[in-house]
């Protein structure tokens, strides 16, 4: 225990500095505006992540967001266990036919106002699986999407920038 504590003290915080924030949203939708407005400017956002058939690349990057370097919690963003608790649904993967229904139910359960973010190339366009018989391509074919964060997979920094960009762009 003492070793652990001394390690904690000697290490100190080494959080990544966020210098500039760029927005991933081309034109800001009415839904986004309303959502951020209702949620006190997005000071506290809860994310439920839905894996709709991704390679798990996006999930690895999302996990990295919680670590001491990226520390997504300092922006008031946290991950939750149920879509009913969520403000944001992040969806990754080209929606496979098996996950189509699950994605719809998750979307249905998420209470309004909600923000849907397509995470990674697969979710944005269908990626390298586009037009395959097993997938329905981009997330927007199943549920309305508010913002896209491209990349295969997007780096944690991309994701962080994307999330903050949405909030920052709308707060102006």
Partner 1 sequence: MTYLSFTFQTLVVLLSAPLLVGMIQTLKARFQNRQGASIFLPYVSMLSLLRKEMTITKNSSWVFCAVPFVVLGTALFLALAVPALFFGVTPNSLDNIFLFGAVAALGSIFLVFGGMDTGSTFGNMGSSREMTLAALVEPALYVSLATFALAAGTWGLGGIVGHFASLPWIVAVPPVLVTLTGFLFVLLAENARYPVDNPATHLELTMVHEAMILEYSGTYLAMLEYASAVKLTALLTLFLSILIPFGIIAVPVSALSLAVAVLTFLAKLALGAFLIAFIESVVVKMRFYRMQEYMTLAFFVSLLGLVILLVVLHH
Partner 2 sequence: MPVSILECLFAIAMVLPLFGAVLSLATSRFSFNNTLVQSVFALSGLSGLVAGGYFFALFRMSEGVFIAVTFPGLITVALGSLQVFFLMLVYGGVFLTSLYAIHSLPPYKDVYALPWLNVASAFFVVGMEATIFAPSLFSFLLFWELMSVSAYFLVIADKSDESLRAGWLYFVMTHIGFACIAAGFLLLAQGNLFASWNDVGLSALSASPLGISVAFILLLAGFGSKAGLVPLHQWLPYAHPQAPSGSSALLSGVMLKVALFGFIQALVLFPFVSFSLALLVIGIGLLSAFFGALRAAVENDAKRVLAWSSIENMGIIFSAVGLYLLVQGSAESAVSAIAPSIALFIVLHIVNHFIFKTGLFMAIGAVASKTHTRNLDELGGLAQHWPMFAGIVLALSLAAAALPPFGTFFGEWAYFQTLASGMTLSAFFGGSFALILALLTLVGGLALFAYVRMFSAIFLGRARTPHAEHVSSMPLFLWLPPFIAVVLSVAAGLFLFPLLGASGATSGIAKLFSSTVIADGASINSWVVVGAMVVIALLLLAFRRLFSNTKPSRITDTWDCGQPLTARMEYTATGFSAPIRFFFKSILMSEKELIVERVSSSNPWIVRRHLVWSIQSFFEYWLYRPIGIAVFAASNAVKKLQNGVIQLYLLLVICALVLTLVSTL
Question: Which lies closer to partner 2 via its Cβ, residue 29 or residue 113?
Answer: 113
Angle between helices 156-171 and 57-65 (to 10 degrees): 70
Which of partner 2, partner 1, none does residue 99 bind (CB under 5 to 8 Å by kind)? Answer: partner 2
What is the per-residue binding string for partner 2 in 47-86, x denoting contact by CB under 8 A? -----------------------------------xxx--
Element (H or E) spanning 48, and its range?
Answer: strand 45-51
Q: How far apart are CA 141 and CA 126, in angstroms?
A: 10
Under DSSP, the state recorded for 89 is E
Smallest separation, CB 109 to partner 1 (Å): 5
The SS3 call for residue 100 is helix
What is the closest distance, in whole angstroms, from the C-beta atom of residue 48 to partner 2 in the complex? 10
Q: Which of 21, 28, 109, 168 binds partner 2 (CB under 8 A)?
A: 109
């Amino acid at each position: 225990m003492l070793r652990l504590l001394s390690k904690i003290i000697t290490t100190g915080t080494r959080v990544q500095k966020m210098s500039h924030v760029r927005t991933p949203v081309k034109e800001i939708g009415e839904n986004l505006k309303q959502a951020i407005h209702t949620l006190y400017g997005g000071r506290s956002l809860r994310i439920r992540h839905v894996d709709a058939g991704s390679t798990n690349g996006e999930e690895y990057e999302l996990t990295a967001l919680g670590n001491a370097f990226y520390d997504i919690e300092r922006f008031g963003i946290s991950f939750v266990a149920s879509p009913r608790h969520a403000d944001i649904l992040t969806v990754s993967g080209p929606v496979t036919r098996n996950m189509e229904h699950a994605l719809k139910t998750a979307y249905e359960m998420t209470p309004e106002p909600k923000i849907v973010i397509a995470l990674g190339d697969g979710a944005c366009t269908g990626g390298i699986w586009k037009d395959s018989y097993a997938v329905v391509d981009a997330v927007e074919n199943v549920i309305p999407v508010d913002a896209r964060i491209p990349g295969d997979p997007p780096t944690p920094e991309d994701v962080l920038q994307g999330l903050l960009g949405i909030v920052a762009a709308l707060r102006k």
